[in-house]
Amino acid sequence: MNYSMNDQQHILKQNEQVATKEMVIEIRDLRKSFGDNHVLNGFSMTLYKGENLVVMGKSGSGKSVMIKCLVGLMQPDSGFLSVMGKEIKTLDRKTLDALRSDIGFLFQGSALYDSMTVRENLEFPMRRHKEKLGNIEDTTPLVLEALENVGLAHTMDLMPSELSGGMKRRVALARTLILKPKIILYDEPTSGLDPITAKEIIELMRSIQKMYGTSSLIITHDVDCARVISERMVLLVDGINYAEGSYAELSKSTDPKVEAFFKK
Amino acid sequence: MAYVIQSYKKIRQFFIEIGELSYFAIRYFKEALKPPWEFKELIRQCYHMGNRSLVLVGVTGFIIGLVLTLQSRPTLMEFGAVSWMPNMVGISIVREIGPVITALICAGRIASGIGAELGSMRVTEQIDAMEVSGTNPFKYLVVTRITATTLMLPLLVIFGDTVALYGSALVENLKGDVSFQLYFNTVFDALEFGDLVPATIKSFFFGFTIGLVGCYKGYYCKKGTAGVGVAANTAVVTASLLLFVVDFIAVFVSDIFYEL
């Protein structure tokens, strides 16, 4: 890693600052291979409470693999993964499901259930987490609240096929919010959207963070998205956390591999 | 040499697939016995697979009954054995033709449908979204579908058999002046308990096979949207082939019981 002296000093200073904050996600030395393809080669990072952390990397660099390992959708080959103080590898199914109710996951393609209406899509996560929501009988107010927060209250009875790409992403975000998660993982939240809709989604992510006080881990290769939303950034190169810092710091870096991300 | 290596790889892949399919079946039983159960989804799937296959099974059964009687009639007349028609058609439809034809139709309609549906859910990350939301997707999607096909196929077979017999009775009524009542009396005189029970039992296994193969192919669908087509296609081919294997085993086992 080719950090300049200034970069190193800043990272040390930043590390001292964040040491006092509460850690909600910790990844240490994460490794994952698919056959001979070593995707993650010892990736490490931490997410602090209330923080917006952007992980940037090229397509196929293992960003999505990393967050799928975080929620137990994939098993890493080795490494330490902890979410809100619980080590993912050691959790049984029931505990993992309970932990998942505190983690919202916005999928790259929205992943709305085709055969269900918008309302049913939002009600689906509530089935297994009724205790968390206080064993409510009528789910309508919760569904309506989540949809209002993304500006789509009128779509409640529509099917996903009747929605545009941006609307699908908003509904998926509403579905993520329905369980009032403490952490939201965004997998390429703006991919496949036109610049105006992408900007709207970014604004929505910011307002949601203010409204719900969530910590956000955003996986993207969209530099504009990273610039607007990130408080801190991690660059994933060759399967490791190659560089860390704020957008302003990293965009000024003279390291060719870091520069490559910010070239227009 | 290249041919030998290629053949070895294909045989190896075949056995891997059999192993994975067996593991999938074991997982089904494990998950099916553990609560919570998805009754609402099971009923929805039963309706979806049973009710919506009725027309197809009915039309096919009716035509099979018609054709079988029309084709057999001249030969039986040659031997002066046309009065045996209801017995012959009844036994052949109830014991073999009805269950196999219905199962093959369902393999085409249901297995491909399940393969395509679960396959598209896999490639669009809907199954992952289900998992993340705390719902066990295997229980919600796979267990309900396999159970629904297992329960619905015997009912479809009974319906298909009945319609096929009506088709046959219609031909006899029009060509041989045999009343419907006489036709069905003769059929039920000829049929024994030993004809109905093995046919019904094997229908459950046919249903299980169709659901299992459709779910397995869809649930482990790979290679993006192209993989969805492959999943639907291979689900039909594999389910149809396995149905004949299951049928052979069922006939073999029921023959042993007959001899006892």
Instruction: Average the pLDDT over each of A81-90, A206-215, B90-99 and give the range with the smallest value.
Output: A206-215
Using 50 as the pLDDT threshold, list the residues of chain B that sit under it. Answer: none
C-beta separation of B160 from B60 below 8 A: yes
Long-range CB pairs of B18-23, under 8 A, 24+ apart, other chains included: B20/B216, B20/B220, B21/B212, B21/B213, B21/B216
Minimal C-alpha gap between A216 and chain B (Å): 16
Structure tokens at A34: 């698919």
Specify the CATH number of the domain A1-102+230-258.
3.40.50.300
Query: How far is residue A223's CA from residue A56's CA, in Å, rounded to a whole number?
Result: 8
CB-CB under 8 Å, B130 with A128 = no
Task: Measure CB to CB from residue A100 to each of B124, B125, B132 and give the nearest one.
Answer: B132
CB-CB under 8 Å, B134 with A105 = no
Chain B environment of A129 (Cβ under 8 Å): 134
Per-residue pLDDT for A109 more than 50?
yes
For residue B161, the model assigns a pLDDT of: 94
Q: Which residues lie closer than 8 Å to A147 by C-beta, 6 or more apart?
A: A118, A122, A153, A155, A156, A171, A174
The ipTM of this complex is 0.84
Per-domain boundaries in chain A: 1-102+230-258
Per-residue pLDDT for A8 more than 70?
no
Q: What is the pLDDT of residues A228-245, one digit of tens each?
A: 888 899 999 988 988 899
Other Cβ atoms less than 10 A from the Cβ of B88: the count is 18
CB-CB under 8 Å, A71 with B134 = no
C-beta separation of A84 from A24 below 8 A: yes
**Residue A6 pLDDT class (50, 70, 90 cuts):** low
Supply the pTM of this predicted model: 0.86
Query: How far is residue B168's CA from residue B66's CA, in Å, rounded to a whole number?
Result: 5
For residue B117, the model assigns a pLDDT of: 94
**Residue A2 pLDDT class (50, 70, 90 cuts):** very low
**Residue A98 pLDDT class (50, 70, 90 cuts):** confident
